[in-house]
Structure 1
Amino acid sequence: MALAYNRHELKIQQIFNDFNDGVLIVDTSYQRRSVWLDRDKVRLIETILMGLIIPEVYFWDAETDPDTGKTITHIVDGQQRIKAIAQFINNEFKLSKDFLIDQEISEKYGNKYFRDLGNDDKILIWTFNLSVVRIKDKNMDEIRNIFYRLNLTDYSLNDQEKRHSNTWGLFADLTKEISELSFWDDFNLFNYGDIKRMKDEEFCSSLILLARKGIINQTNQNPLNDAYSDYATNYPEYNDDKNRILKWIDTFKQFYSQENKSFIRKRTQLYTIFCLMDYLTEEKIEVTSHMISRFNNFVQKYNLFENSSDTEEMSNPEDEAIKKYKLASSEGVNKIRNRKLRYEILKNYVMDLTV
């Protein structure tokens, strides 16, 4: 039986041209996002300039046009390295001295773009060989599995990244569509670490479950795993759920301010706020300045209590309710009981109801 792969070397020049020409591509349907920091990119180029070995990359010839012979090749593993090399050659970042490790390299190449390098150094990069594992005779399901297994390390795929690499379908499509809304960036609701490990997509998946099933117990990954599977091919409510979440977002924008930003950015609180947004939109309740003021007041009091260890009961029922909210935000945050308790307390406070 013939081997299903072969190993060979390709010059950066050929890989760069294929990548720029769109015949060497990244399939984002199963790949994690390219989120390398400039530090990572600079140190990769430093390694190349030092003539050291970098890890091999994995390619898969996915399809060939029978008339032209043009083959589309997927980067199964190594997209971050190839993108970083292409970006440097395209003068999209410089070799910042802050990130270079080798003293000699720092003195010679520090703060230079590709265009600033001498001819010999440019040729060194163009002719540098990357070790390529070319996968043959595999279908897409097998390629997804290969990607998954290539990342079975202690610091590799988390649960959301595993779903992304192993699962596709309508629920996955909606998750991606919601997570790519400019809203999340505009309001800076996810940090670099969240985005790098796809925690933003995981949160958006939870919002879709909120739209579909209301507040549920989510202490493990089973609800999300089941949703990715159950709504992969049969999801007639796709647009209804999408539009529902878009309405929540429009309502949410009225409550956001820089003063309550740190509270809102915590995923536990963000989920609770979206529960409130669901209530307001479903009941067709218009947001008033009084409601916004009550929300801001709630956040201010919560922040005062957040670092407090005082567990004594308080005479003010509203303050006591916020204390209970704090406790429901500190442990078992995804248990249905604590989720519902937080939602009810926040709703009653904002709506000025009995707490």
Structure 2
Amino acid sequence: MKTTATNKKVRELMTMITEQTLIAQPEFQRRLVWTNRHKQLFIQTVIEGMPFPEIFICDGPYDLDTAAGSTYLVDGQQRVTTLYQYFTGSDQFKPGGTVTPYADLAIEQKRSFLNYDVVVRDLGPLASDEVKEVFRRMNSTNYSLNAMEVNNARFDGALKNAAERMSVWPVFDEHRVFNAADIRRMTDVRWCLDVIITVISGYFSRSDAHEDYLERYNDAFEEGKEVISNLADCFALLSELKVDDKSRAWQKNDLFTLIVEIYRLGADKCKDQDGLSEALRKFFSDVSNVAAGGAPSFYEDARQYHTDVISGSNERARRVRRGEVIHEVISSFFNVAKKNENERIDD
């Protein structure tokens, strides 16, 4: 395989993109989705003449008669795209801080920017499968990444940071919600993302909504302060209810449903903490009895709930049914209008 390292001027890359002779490969280039701040820092690096890592290209298809053809960008899509957004004044790049819009640069600054040398490693002619394999190997680790670890490598924005801050709340340690393996594989962050996205959008399957919302709220998560504050109130209410540490309520799937439904009703609208505490004690005791092969004493719906919490527990339909059961158990202890009680979060 040919691996020649050369330099190309930024102006050459910009011309190639404009003429569509340099083509990115987004179907396999699932790298970090930069925030605008990331982009600003990168452009500042170029303007100051500082180096950045090499990009990789390979031959694309070309005409044997005319020699006209294209080049594929194997690795470096975000960097090259940011350069092009800055150069063209795209609304996907917002100058700010120490970064002046390209159009407002002095002539010598524009010349310096366009003549910046980018280190380019040419892999030569590669088949499509070979291109993907090269990219995979350049970005592989020694074990398979789970969905949250992949998204962690791609996103470093507002929503992900909110989930990370939530994941280290003391309440999770106090009630041993996450174990060491959960924390090591970022299951705690994924769980917090599940909760945050669900309370703003509704129940969904597995982690299907993560990528969409992480990208949507990468630059800013304006409602985040209110959402996180309300979730903190939900956990504070559980602490006030003195839910036993041994209760199923602190297991991840059960806690997920309980927090979402308390959020839905409004933790600050709880009108009977003693009644709610007793109802939760009885309900989760019934679920534990069902799990042990017994019969529920207080809530027949505990059977359905148990089925939905142990089998396909992260499927949307299972989450919706669990939510309906918990909602029915706890709603009478909240001071909410009847019409609001009937508005399901999955609508």
Contact 1:194 1:200 in 2 (8 A): yes
CA–CA distance in 1 between the matches of 2:144 and 2:242? 34
CA–CA distance in 2 between the matches of 1:284 and 1:147? 51
Query: 1:189: Cα distance to partner?
Result: 1.2
Instruction: Write out per-residue CA displacement over residues 45-100 of structure 1, whole angstroms, 9 at most, x where no aligned residue.
Output: xxxxxxxxxxxxxxxxxx8xx9xx9xxxxxxxxxxxxxxxxxxxxxxxxxxxxxxx
Instruction: Write out per-residue CA displacement over residues 180-227 of structure 1, whole angstroms, 9 at most, x where no aligned residue.
Output: 2222222221111110100000000011112211x32223x3301111
* Equivalent position to 1:285, from 256, 265, 270: 270
Matched residue type, 1:175:
A
Aligned to 1:223: 209
Contact 2:149 2:185 in 1 (8 A): yes
1:165 equivalent to 2:156? Answer no
Matched residue type, 1:235:
F
CA–CA distance in 1 between the matches of 2:137 and 2:327? 42
**Please, which runs of 5 or more residues in structure 2 have no aligned partner?**
8-31, 33-44, 51-117, 121-133, 334-347
Aligned to 2:192: 204
CA–CA distance in 1 between the matches of 2:173 and 2:272? 23
Using a 3 Å threshold, how does the CA distance of structure 1 residues 151 and 188 change in structure 2: closer, same or farther? farther
Aligned to 2:223: 237
Matches within 5 A, 1:141-160: 149-153=138-142, 155-160=143-148
CA–CA distance in 2 between the matches of 1:331 and 1:254? 31
1:183 equivalent to 2:171? Answer yes
Query: 1:152: Cα distance to partner?
Result: 4.0
Aligned to 1:322: 302
1:193 equivalent to 2:173? Answer no
Using a 3 Å threshold, how does the CA distance of structure 1 residues 240 and 325 change in structure 2: closer, same or farther? same
Matched residue type, 2:204:
N
Matches within 5 A, 1:66-85: none
Aligned to 2:35: none
1:342 equivalent to 2:342? Answer no
Matches within 5 A, 1:300-315: 300-308=285-293
* Equivalent position to 2:235, from 249, 268, 285: 249
Using a 3 Å threshold, how does the CA distance of structure 1 residues 276 and 255 change in structure 2: closer, same or farther? farther
Using a 3 Å threshold, how does the CA distance of structure 1 residues 173 and 265 change in structure 2: closer, same or farther? same
SS in 1 for 2:271: coil
Instruction: Write out per-residue CA displacement over residues 262-282 of structure 1, whole angstroms, 9 at most, x where no aligned residue.
Output: x13432111111123213426
Using a 3 Å threshold, how does the CA distance of structure 1 residues 255 and 150 change in structure 2: closer, same or farther? farther
CA–CA distance in 2 between the matches of 1:324 and 1:191? 27
- Structure-2-length-normalised TM-score: 0.53
Matched residue type, 2:151:
R
Aligned to 1:44: none
Matches within 5 A, 1:22-41: none
CA–CA distance in 2 between the matches of 1:349 and 1:160? 32
Contact 1:147 1:165 in 2 (8 A): no
CA–CA distance in 2 between the matches of 1:3 and 1:307? 68
Contact 2:167 2:192 in 1 (8 A): yes
CA–CA distance in 1 between the matches of 2:270 and 2:169? 25
Aligned to 2:337: none
CA–CA distance in 1 between the matches of 2:151 and 2:268? 34
CA–CA distance in 2 between the matches of 1:259 and 1:177? 23
SS in 2 for 1:232: coil
**Please, which runs of 5 or more residues in structure 1 have no aligned partner?**
5-29, 31-62, 70-135, 139-144
Matched residue type, 2:262:
M
Matched residue type, 1:198:
M
CA–CA distance in 2 between the matches of 1:182 and 1:259? 14
Contact 2:276 2:330 in 1 (8 A): yes
Aligned to 2:284: 299
SS in 2 for 1:295: helix
Contact 2:243 2:277 in 1 (8 A): no
CA–CA distance in 2 between the matches of 1:332 and 1:245? 25
Instruction: Write out per-residue CA displacement over residues 300-325 of structure 1, whole angstroms, 9 at most, x where no aligned residue.
Output: 11111113288xxx8x7x44211111
CA–CA distance in 1 between the matches of 2:225 and 2:183? 25
Query: 1:239: Cα distance to partner?
Result: 1.4
Using a 3 Å threshold, how does the CA distance of structure 1 residues 287 and 260 change in structure 2: closer, same or farther? farther
1:276 equivalent to 2:261? Answer yes
Contact 2:158 2:217 in 1 (8 A): yes
CA–CA distance in 1 between the matches of 2:137 and 2:153? 6
SS in 1 for 2:266: helix
